[in-house]
Amino acid sequence: MNAPTKIETTLKDWETDQEVRWCPGCGDYAILKAVQRTLPQLGCDPAKTVFISGIGCSSRFPYYMETYGFHTIHGRAPAFATGAKLANPELDIWLVTGDGDGLSIGGNHLMHVLRRNVNMQIMLFNNEIYGLTKGQASPTSREGTKSPSTPIGSYDHPARPAAFALGAGARFVGRGFDVSKNLPDVLKAAHAHKGAAFIEIFQNCIVYNKDVFDDFAAPKGAEGQQLWLEDGKPMLFAKDTKGIALNRQTLSLEVVDVVDGDWEAAGVVVHDVTNRSIAHMLVEMPFGAFPMALGVLYDDPRPTFEDAVIAERAKVSEGKEANLAKLLGKGQTWTVSGTAQDPV
Amino acid sequence: MATAATEGPHGLHESPEAIVVRFAGDSGDGMQLTGGQFTLSTALAGNDLATFPDFPAEIRAPQGTLFGVSAFQINFGSREINTAGDAPDVLVAMNPAALKVNLAALKPGGLIIADTGAFTKRNLDKAHYEANPLEDGSLAKFDVLAFDISEKTIEAVKPYGLGNKDALRSKNMWTLGLALWMFDRPRNPIHDWLKAKFKSKPDIADANIAALDAGHAYGETAELAGPLKQVHVDPVPSEPGLYRTVTGAEAVSLGLVAGAQLAELPMFFGGYPITPASAILHHLARLKEFGVTTFQAEDEIAAVCAAIGASWAGQLGVTSSSGPGIALKTEAIGLGIMTELPLVIVNSQRGGPSTGLPTKTEQSDLYQAVYGRNGDAPMPVIAARSPSDAFEVAIEACRIAVEYMTPVMLLTDGYIANAAEPWKVPDPDTFEPFPATFLDQPNDGENFLPYKRDEKGARPWVKPGTPGLMHRIGGIEKHELTGNIDYSPDNHQRMTDARKDKVEGVVVPDQEVCLGEPSGRLAVVGWGSTFGPIHRAVDNCRRKGLDVSHIHVRHIWPMPKNMGELLRGYEHILVPEMNTGQFKTVLRDQFLVDAQPLTKTSGQPFQIAELEEEIGKYFDGIEDNEGGEVAVNEEQLPNLEAGHDDGTYPDAPFHGDSAVPSGRDTDSEGVNQ
């Protein structure tokens, strides 16, 4: 979303007087701060900014943002946001959802808001667990996750949010994690993208799924497992000693060693945010054998839904007068005057 | 109910007060289209009328089968018409299945017009006829006019070079031509309509016109020898003005557009395809120049959520569905109630539960509308009684939604949605505007309180984007003024009370008695589309001298303030409903009155005769009504010995003959194109 006029604000202007009620140490705090830090930098207007959420821990987010906010019902935030955007395209909409809200009960709406390409930023906080209902396995929980509802370990295959988004037709897919210093950059790129911008944010549920992302998101020592993608830059990680190359035989990505910084010799791919094929490979890259792809994985705008709706209305209304009296008397009519009936 | 006198050899009187005609054929025969055009020409001839389209749920049921029969019934007359009629005077049967399914409804002595060209061995087998009923004498108690309409159609359109298969698609136009002649209706409007419909294919237009004219000409010839007589039904004296025909779906759509204009709001309509509610989405999708945005959502839930999102952003959110879809929307409606945003929900009821009878009418979503949500979630409910009434009711729904900041449910049903009737086009200037107001500055000194209520109990409406009034709302219980999350016991008590008081305080007009006296022996209390048959039945009974009155309720929730007192003025209360007695329960609950149910869930509207029968029971032993029987209404039961109107209707398809399921008519097939 491109804010038309830049407004001067500070982080404080975006804080509400409400007591934040997430568990101490929850990753949501860091995300909240990242957002409150980013919006002033973007020059956003709090009055035109709205936060819309579903149900779950993440969905309490709007209460803590000094903007217009709508805490809706479980899974349906994309539908409310679509209606609000069509009713007032000026609104700068941020949608907040989680792995359960967005991919389980609300998977259908998330798919459709992405394929329609309604202009908004969609932040999916992925903590791979149902937090607010006390720790059941979620659609992104890894196989074998033990939880009150899966005491022996879960056996359904996890959904991959970024792959889901891209498959649904998203034109922007970004990734970050709660405590990452780069998260604001991802948010800014999403905001700059006109259309539905999907951001998966790995978030540490300190109570029910503690530190499951530590392999790449631990405050210290995990940097080597982070592949931060930048448009036009080679896909390097582990202090540029490793890179991602395309195996042209198998049409798949592979990790290669980069010797003496000569990434070209190693065949490392240069990231092109508009390359949808590479984006598909990045979102499917299994963590472990590969690093975690972070940053802007894909960004290739196309016309938005609300623009199409507005253009259609303008086109079909052209030269037409919105005269209700005429509308009511449309079609084949007749007049009664006394007893005579005259078709008109 | 048709009151055609049946004296004379031909089943039809030359100048009856009212006639009921049923066009029946295969769902590919275009009967809905034939009926629709006949309706238009009848309206243009100045008769009052009511129609009942009855079609299979299957899009294209196998040809010639009993379950593929599609019928369109019209009752028209020179006096006020309230229903589509109990029993047809004339049955047009385009094939054996159509005859079989509809024959039981036909009035004894009625006229059958049948296409012998379709009474082939194959079609007779499909209709489970062992012998050709046109030949075996089984139709002796009716007048039969059977001839080869198929052949005559092929002959008529021959000059246009169509193959037999294509030519036969004009059969319905030929039949319509004959019907136009029979009832002395003008052909010009149909000519004009065909020319407009096939603007780009003038040959096809000409072929259909030729078929229509040939059918018309045949009437003149056949009159000389056969049972066919031309019948003239005088125009009904009506109030001067501009008229058109309107279906309930059209009237709801127009009423919503008018309501949004009166509220000075753009309208956002979120819908999802469902029978019989889709027609509203279709109508509104073509009215974008009126500031209407239509959004076909991914499901029913998204449709209502998007509408609420639009209301939150400052438009008038509207959604529409039928029972199963309303069930899906229910959680979101609760959020609309909790966040106190305007929303109009149109429920075009159909037979249930579950998928039920998608193309048949029922009033069984009343509990769902009044009580069907989690938590204490009060919501105004109003019901339309007829296609034209739906216009005003839709405006009323918009008014309540905007003035009281609340979701409102508008109940209509499959019958109202599809049926057509003449409508005196209203002047939009005669409706009182109710412009929405948006708060744009603090409402409590320096402070802004999103839940501070006005004298109606409504909270302020603030458009996101308004500087300085940022706030958050949601489904969690909120503080009674600030709207911030507040679970405290006293606050929830007060908020629950405030929501209840607001809805119960919605100002609705006092209940009037629409026919009869404000007290007496019996009140027949109805709501929704049963208005027509109840009104006619009560009228008939009053003409017989019975002390019975008709009360029709538009405002189901909250009910008019005088309702309890009014009801208690009658010795008995009878509540006919197309469900198992839902409104009866609400009346008992609200007013502790002994309301008695008369229920019907066959998917078919009430017949006047069955209502009269029930009313009669309340006058057993009453003076002038000895023996417990209501005197036979000669006009209504013209041929008593046949006894089909004895109140049991063992064979009548109206009573849910399992062979008559129905659906969307494949009317694209109906006219040659």
Tokens of B192: 């004009």
Task: Decide if pLDDT at B629 tops 60.
Answer: no
Q: B305 — contact with chain A (CB < 8 Å)? A: yes
What average pLDDT does the segment A203-216 reach?
Answer: 97
Contact residues for B302 (Cβ-Cβ < 8 A; gap 6+):
A76, A78, A79, A82, A108, A109, A112, B270, B272
- Chain B, nearest residue to A89 by Cα: B313
Tokens of B130: 């062992």
Tokens of B430: 């005669």
| Alpha carbon of B291: minimum distance to chain A alpha carbons (Å) | 8
Residue B126 near residue B108, CB atoms below 8 Å: no
Q: What is the pLDDT of residues B267-295, one digit of tens each?
A: 999 999 998 999 999 999 999 999 999 99
CA distances from B4 to A29, A193, B176 (A): 79, 71, 21
Beta-carbon separation of B472 and A332 below 8 A: no
| Cβ-Cβ contacts under 8 Å, A330 against chain B | 244
Q: B302 — contact with chain A (CB < 8 Å)? A: yes
Task: Decide if pLDDT at A328 tops 70.
Answer: yes
Lowest mean pLDDT among A215-224, B107-116, B232-241: B232-241
Q: How far apart are CA B20 and CA B87, in angstroms?
A: 7
Assign residue B223 a region: left if phi > 0, alpha if psi is -120 to 50, beta otherwise? alpha
Whether the bond between B240 and the residue before it is cis, its omega within 30 degrees of 0, is no
Q: How far apart are CA B34 and CA B667, in angstroms?
A: 9
Q: State residue B224's pLDDT score.
A: 59
Residue B295 near residue B267, CB atoms below 8 Å: no
Q: How far apart are CA A192 and CA B33, in angstroms?
A: 53
Beta-carbon separation of A79 and B309 below 8 A: yes
B221 pLDDT band, cuts 50/70/90, is: confident
* Binding-face residues of A in 300-329 toward B, CB within 8 A: 309, 312-313, 316-317, 320-322, 324-325, 327-329
Q: Which of A48, A65, A112 sits opposite B302 (nearest CB)?
A: A112
Q: What is the pLDDT of residues B503-523, one digit of tens each?
A: 999 999 999 999 999 999 999
Q: What is the pLDDT of residues A65-104, one digit of tens each?
A: 999 999 999 999 999 999 999 999 999 999 999 999 999 9
Beta-carbon separation of A79 and B305 below 8 A: yes
Q: State residue B10's pLDDT score.
A: 43
Task: Decide if pLDDT at A290 tops 60.
Answer: yes
Give the closest residue to A51 by CA, choosing from B472, B66, B424, B357. B472
What average pLDDT does the segment B534-543 reach?
Answer: 95
Q: Which of B244, B293, B429 sits opposite A86 (nearest CB)?
A: B293
Q: How many Cβ atoms from other residues are within 10 Å of residue B33's Cβ?
A: 22
Beta-carbon separation of B472 and A70 below 8 A: yes
CA geometry: angle B80, B530, B4, nearest 5 deg: 35
Q: A88 — contact with chain B (CB < 8 Å)? A: yes
Q: A335 — contact with chain B (CB < 8 Å)? A: yes
Q: A168 — contact with chain B (CB < 8 Å)? A: no
Classified as helix, coil or strand, B28 is: coil
* Binding-face residues of B in 7-36 toward A, CB within 8 A: none
DSSP for A110-154, written as a single string:
HHHHHHHT-SEEEEEEE-SSBTTTTSB--TTPPTT--BTTBTT--
Beta-carbon separation of B485 and A18 below 8 A: yes
Contact residues for B551 (Cβ-Cβ < 8 A; gap 6+):
B511, B512, B513, B514, B523, B524, B525, B526, B566, B567
Beta-carbon separation of B244 and A71 below 8 A: no
Contact residues for B247 (Cβ-Cβ < 8 A; gap 6+):
B279, B387, B417, B418, B419, B420
Q: What is the pLDDT of residues B349-359, one digit of tens each?
A: 999 999 999 98
Task: Decide if pLDDT at A342 tops 60.
Answer: no
Q: Using DSSP bridges, classify how beta strands B595-599 and B570-577 pair: parallel, antiparallel or unpaired.
A: parallel
- Chain A, nearest residue to B332 by Cα: A73
Beta-carbon separation of A52 and B309 below 8 A: yes
Which ipTM score applies to this complex? 0.97
| Alpha carbon of A106: minimum distance to chain B alpha carbons (Å) | 10
Inter-axis angle of helices B171-182 and B149-157, to 10 degrees? 100
Q: What is the pLDDT of residues B161-215, one digit of tens each?
A: 888 888 889 999 999 999 999 999 889 989 999 999 899 989 889 999 999 999 9
Q: State residue B229's pLDDT score.
A: 78
Q: How far apart are CA B165 and CA B162, in angstroms?
A: 8
Whether the bond between B558 and the residue before it is cis, its omega within 30 degrees of 0, is yes
Q: How far apart are CA B309 and CA B399, in angstroms?
A: 19
Burial degree of B319 (CB within 10 A; 0-12, 13-18, 19+): buried
- Chain B, nearest residue to A20 by Cα: B485
Q: State residue B640's pLDDT score.
A: 27
Q: State residue A303's pLDDT score.
A: 98
Q: State residue A331's pLDDT score.
A: 78
Best of A51, A68, A312 to mutate (most B CBs within 10 Å, chain B): A68
Q: State residue A333's pLDDT score.
A: 84
| Cβ-Cβ contacts under 8 Å, A55 against chain B | 475
* Binding-face residues of A in 9-28 toward B, CB within 8 A: 16, 18
Query: Backbone phi, then psi, for B656, in 5-degree steps?
Result: 90, 35
Q: How far apart are CA B309 and CA A77, in angstroms?
A: 9
Q: State residue A161's pLDDT score.
A: 98
Residue B24 near residue B94, CB atoms below 8 Å: yes
Q: How much is the mean pLDDT over chain B?
A: 88
DSSP for B494-562, written as a single string:
HHHHHHHHHHHT---PPP--SBS-SSEEEEEEEEGGGHHHHHHHHHHHHHTT--EEEEEESEEESPPTT
For tokens 């199963």, name the residue: B324
| Cβ-Cβ contacts under 8 Å, A70 against chain B | 309, 312, 339, 472-474
Give the closest residue to B333 by CA, choosing from B324, B344, B348, B322. B344
Tokens of B31: 């009967």
| Cβ-Cβ contacts under 8 Å, A50 against chain B | 464
DSSP for B225-243, written as a single string:
HSS------PPPP--SEEE
Percent of chain A clearing pLDDT 70 (strictly above): 97
Beta-carbon separation of A76 and B235 below 8 A: no
Query: Backbone phi, then psi, for B86, in 5-degree steps?
Result: -75, -55
Q: How far apart are CA B125 and CA B132, in angstroms?
A: 10
* Binding-face residues of B in 182-211 toward A, CB within 8 A: 186, 188-189, 193
Identity of residue B112: I
How far the first Cα of chain B sits from its last, in Å, is 36
Task: Decide if pLDDT at A220 tops 60.
Answer: yes
For tokens 């972070």, name the residue: A294
A298 pLDDT band, cuts 50/70/90, is: very high
- Chain B, nearest residue to A14 by Cα: B470
Q: Which of A50, A320, A339 sits opposite B235 (nearest CB)?
A: A339
- Chain A, nearest residue to B474 by Cα: A71
E strands, B544-616, where? 548-553, 555-557, 570-577, 595-599
| Alpha carbon of B448: minimum distance to chain A alpha carbons (Å) | 13
Q: A330 — contact with chain B (CB < 8 Å)? A: yes
Q: B372 — contact with chain A (CB < 8 Å)? A: no
Q: How far apart are CA B337 and CA A294, in angstroms?
A: 41
Q: Which of A86, A322, A327 sits opposite B310 (nearest CB)?
A: A86
Q: State residue A167's pLDDT score.
A: 98
H-helix or E-strand spanning residue B473 = strand B472-474
Q: B298 — contact with chain A (CB < 8 Å)? A: yes
Beta-carbon separation of B254 and A80 below 8 A: no
Q: Which of B293, B311, B425 sits opposite A333 (nearest CB)?
A: B425
Task: Decide if pLDDT at B237 tops 50.
Answer: yes
Best of B245, B287, B469, B470 to mutate (most A CBs within 10 Å, chain A): B470
Percent of chain A clearing pLDDT 90 (strictly above): 92
Tokens of B65: 């089968």
Task: Decide if pLDDT at B366 tops 70.
Answer: yes
Identify the DSSP state of A101: I
Q: Which of A67, A73, A332 sits opposite B332 (nearest CB)?
A: A73
CA distances from A92 to A82, A122, B284, B579 (A): 12, 11, 28, 47
Chains A, B: CB pairs < 8 Å: 212
| Alpha carbon of A223: minimum distance to chain B alpha carbons (Å) | 38
